[in-house]
Amino acid sequence: MRTATKLGGALALLAITGVAFAAGGDVGQTVKQETNWTAIAMFVIFVGLTLWITKWAAARTKTAAAFYTAGGGVTGFQNGLAIAGDYMSAASFLGISAAIMANGYDGLIYSIGFLVGWPIITFLLAERLRNLGRFTFADVAGYRFQQGPIRSFAAAGTLVVVLFYLIAQMVGAGQLIKLLFGLDYWVAVVVVGVLMMVYVLFGGMTATTWVQIIKACLLLAGASFMAFAVLFHFGFNVEAMFAKAVEIKTNLALNDPKVIAKAAEQGKDVMEVAKNVGRSIMGPGNFIKDPISAISFGMALMFGTAGLPHILMRFFTVPDAKQARKSVLWATTWIGYFYILTFIIGFGAIIFVLTDPAFLDAKGALKGGNNMAAVHLANALGGNVFLGFMSAVAFATILAVVAGLTLSGASAVSHDLYATLFKEGKADSASELRVSRIATLCLGVVAVLLGIAFEKINVAFMVSLAFAVAASANFPVLLLSVLWKDCTTRGAVTGGFLGLIASVGLTVVSPAVWEDVLGNAKGSAWFPYTSPALFSMLVGFIGTWLFSVLDQSEQAKKERAAYPAQRVRSETGFGAAAASDH
Amino acid sequence: MQNDIYERIRANPKYQRLVQERGRFGWILTIIMLIVYYGYIALIAFDKEFLAKPIGTGVTTLGIPIGVGVILFAIIITGIYVRRANTEFDALTEEILKEVRK
């Protein structure tokens, strides 16, 4: 069992393959595949099931509260799965396993960054969010502030993050579905848009939560099966698995013209250079270029999580602080487990996919692009039926994530802008619900149009931009308004907007946009680092602090005087919104 | 009326203890998590060789148990906080709320 059966013949065919695959957790550009009927059948079953749930949920979604938070009756365990579902996007499943297949260890560094924000949320925010909030994170950030300015800021912060993230997911969805099901790109984007709108419009948070839970279970089950099947081949001897992967990478490098040329150039033995290439997958490579980029990127991932509106909103679906804490613990556990699985799956792909001519095109590259690593591995391990299953799960994943994002964007419009700002809190539940449905419809259409317009954009880049904005605008305002007694409306709103502008602005003048997108000369970008978070987060925090300290208005005095009461409620939950209205 | 209760909660020494202890506990764990994660990032940024060093004679490097260790650490430290908050601190909160409602 220790050797993949087709290895010998495959290696000869692989002679022309380069090991230098494109890096990064990116879904990227893909090539349309043949129509996969098993996958479509599995997907139809999934859609049928979720539509049936939506019908059931629609009967319970009669009020704005039910629409936003499923009535607050979700348990900690269920919510943990739903949060994990929100977080384990198709881009992370396919992108990270592809990155590990291509570069080995670097993929692990990337996933660790995504995980470590969760403990921080648990220690500093989870119970306070639940105790202070009702429907959106603006309820928390604006608890004692002037509603007009803080709601405008929160809605802006929410919509910017949601739109960036939504574009990333829509483009990823289109590329993937084109690839998995053989549909045209625009058809794929429209299908995702329409289904997502149906879930949110009719089923609100109840349907979105259950779609998320089902998908999280399917994804975890499928990924577990793959990882255990890979480990089983090696008798659960991890060292043997790594050794095999290094051997394969070395053999691939041995026949790589680039490696041969490099060895000749340096006057070294080809075998020696190839061995180094093979061994490089076991340690950090080029993922992190300089220390400042490393720290900045780490901060965006770590603190961005605590500023993602669709994640924050999940804390309002549980009845109390105890369940809120339980839900983050479950979420952290599932997400951590999932990242360990993707690591094994990436190595499995090196061993079973890179060596099998069935998955390679004439040039020796992976059929359909590198992001097909996990999908091809599913085929190698479980045949066509399991391939169909995993393809359907990947599609379901995208659907669930875009539904969650759209719901939080729509809530910002209907709850923060319409009900609180325009109607000054006097909107009745029915009209608020109507506005949130109109907003869902508009956001859905915008998402589809942007998804089609940005077909060629780099998905991983859009995701990291959404995280950077969340970390620089939403997170500082949220944290300081909850934990700092002297924070005022003026400080929070000014600081938040400065953080928002800084994160977007620095991204525009960074190499990725200034040089690659806008076509300016190499080296002309003003901002040399890959992620703006280190600097834009400082702008957000210092801005909020400075303009709060400088604020000596009557309003500021009132807001500071209101802090002790807010503190008591955030710590004890006394007076927090009732659990359920069913 | 509610503000009155808020004042009474604030005056309760148990509330002071709750806020102080839970706050300190949360911040200490936050700092530990930051040290672990940024320590790991600093290792990658400044000493890649260390993580790429094989354990014994095999191909498995030190980076593998360390990386997986950071993941497990994040889960465990979250568990430690949730366990204490959901038992000890929640019991204290219950007591405080019972006392002021009397």
For residue range A308-345, list pLDDT tens digits in order. Answer: 999 999 999 999 999 999 999 999 999 999 999 999 99
Highest mean pLDDT among A180-184, A456-460, A522-526: A522-526
Taking an 8 Å cut-off on Cβ atoms, the answer to whether B58 and A568 are in contact is no
- A residues 242-281 closer than 8 Å to B (CB): 242-243, 246, 279-280
Chain segment A259-300, per-residue pLDDT in tens: 888 888 888 888 888 998 899 999 998 766 678 888 888 889
Least Cα separation, residue A325 to chain B (angstroms): 6
Q: What share of chain A is helix, strand, coil (3-state, %, to 5)?
A: 75, 0, 25
Q: Which of B22, B60, B74 sits opposite A115 (nearest CB)?
A: B74
Q: What pLDDT is stored for residue A381 in this prediction?
A: 94
Split at pLDDT 50, 70, 90, the class of A421 is: confident
In this predicted complex, what is the ipTM? 0.94
Whether chain A has a CB inside 8 Å of the CB on B20: the answer is: no
Contacts of A242 (CB under 8 A, 6+ apart): A282, A347, B58, B59, B60, B64
What average pLDDT does the segment A483-508 reach? 94
In the stretch 75-94 of chain B, residues with CB closer than 8 A to chain A read: 75, 77-79, 81-82, 85-86, 90, 93
Q: What tens digit of pLDDT does each residue of A215-251 get?
A: 999 999 999 999 999 999 999 999 999 999 999 999 9
Q: Is the separation of the CB atoms in A474 and A155 below 8 Å?
A: no
Distance separating alpha carbons of residues A346 and A93, to the nearest angstrom: 10
Comparing A245-249, A440-444, A563-567, A574-578, which segment has the lowest mean pLDDT? Answer: A574-578
Per-residue pLDDT reduced to its tens digit, B21-71: 999 999 999 999 999 999 998 888 888 889 999 988 889 999 999 999 999
| CB-based contact A336 B72, cutoff 8 Å | yes
Q: Measured between CB atoms, which of A302, A322, A325 is closest to B37?
A: A302
Q: Encoding tokens for residue B38?
A: 């940024």
Helix, strand, coil % in chain B, rounded to nearest 5: 85, 0, 15
Helices (H), A116-237: 117-124, 126-132, 137-141, 147-181, 185-233
Instruction: Kindly report the nearest CA distance between residue A304 and chain B, in angstroms.
Output: 15
User: Is there a contact between B85 and A565 if contact means CB atoms under 8 Å apart?
Assistant: no
Cα–Cα distances (Å) from B91 to A114, A474, B6, B7, B80, in that order, read 33, 32, 19, 20, 16
For the segment A118-146, what is each residue's pLDDT rounded down to a tens digit? 999 999 999 999 999 888 999 999 899 99
pLDDT band at B6 (very low <50, low <70, confident <90, very high): confident
Q: Is B70 on the interface with A (CB under 8 A)?
A: yes
| Residue pointed to by tokens 């319970």 | A60
**Range from A27-31, A530-534, A574-578 carrying the lowest mean pLDDT:** A27-31
Tell me which chain B residues have a C-beta less than 8 angstroms from the C-beta of A325.
Answer: 81-82, 85-86
Asked if the model's pLDDT at residue A3 lies above 80, the reply is no
Arithmetic mean of pLDDT, A571-581: 67
In angstroms, the CA A278 to CA A269 distance is 15
DSSP for A427-449, please give it: --HHHHHHHHHHHHHHHHHHHHH
Chain A closest-CA separation from residue B21 CA (Å): 12
Q: Which pLDDT band, with edges at 50, 70 and 90, does B11 fall under?
A: confident
| Inter-residue contact A398 to A172 (CB < 8 Å) | yes
The predicted structure's pLDDT at residue A181: 76
Burial of A275 (0-12, 13-18, 19+ CB in 10 A): middle
Closest CA–CA distance from residue A108 to any residue of chain B (Å):
7
Section A434-453 average pLDDT: 93
* Average pLDDT for A454-482: 89
Least confident of A442-451, A479-488, B33-42, B47-56: B47-56
pLDDT for the residue A385: 87
8 Å CB contact between A534 and A471: no
Residue A29: what pLDDT?
A: 58
To the nearest whole number, what is the mean pLDDT of chain B?
A: 91
Classify residue B35 by burial, with Cβ atoms within 10 Å: 0-12, 13-18, 19+: exposed
CB contact under 8 A, A302 and B81: no
H or E element in which residue A364 lies = none
Report the pLDDT value the prediction gives residue A405, as an integer from 0 to 100: 92
Q: Which residues from chain A sit within 8 angstroms of residue B79, using beta carbons?
A: 329, 333
**pTM (predicted TM-score):** 0.89
Q: Would you call A295 and B41 a contact, using CB atoms and an 8 Å cutoff?
A: yes
Cβ-Cβ contacts under 8 Å, A130 against chain B: none
pLDDT at residue A73 in the model: 84
Rg for chain B, CA atoms, rounded: 21
Helix A37-60 with A185-233: angle, nearest 10 deg: 110
Total domains in chain B come to 1
Gap from B11 CA to chain A (nearest CA, Å): 11
Which residues on chain B are in Cβ contact (under 8 Å) with A248?
none
Query: Does B33 lie at the interface with A, CB-CB under 8 angstroms?
Result: yes
Does the structure show a pLDDT above 90 at A459?
A: no
Q: Is A561 on the interface with B (CB under 8 A)?
A: no
pLDDT value of residue A577: 57
**What are the residues facing A360 on neighbouring strands?**
A366
Instruction: Using CA coordinates, name the residue in chain A closest to B4.
Output: A565
Measured distance CA(A287)–CA(A283) in Å, rounded = 11
Domain of B87?
2-101
Which amino acid does the sequence have at A50?
T
Q: Are A116 and B32 in contact (CB under 8 A)?
A: no
Out of B9, B10, B90, name the one closest to residue A322 (CB): B90
CATH class of the domain comprising A72-456: mainly alpha
Given a cut of 90, is residue A516 above it in pLDDT?
no
Long-range contacts of B62-68 (CB under 8 A, 24+ apart): B63/A105, B63/A108, B63/A282, B63/A283, B63/A284, B64/A105, B64/A242, B64/A282, B66/B40, B67/A105, B67/A108, B67/A109, B67/A112, B67/B40, B68/A108, B68/A340, B68/A343
Residue A517's φ and ψ, nearest 5 degrees, are -90, -50
A199 has a pLDDT exceeding 50: yes
Looking at the DSSP assignment, which residues form a beta bridge with residue A535? none
The confidence score (pLDDT) of residue A2 equals 40
Task: Note the pLDDT of residue A8.
Answer: 38
CA distance B28 to chain A (A): 9
pLDDT at A269: 87
Residue with tokens 């500021």: A556
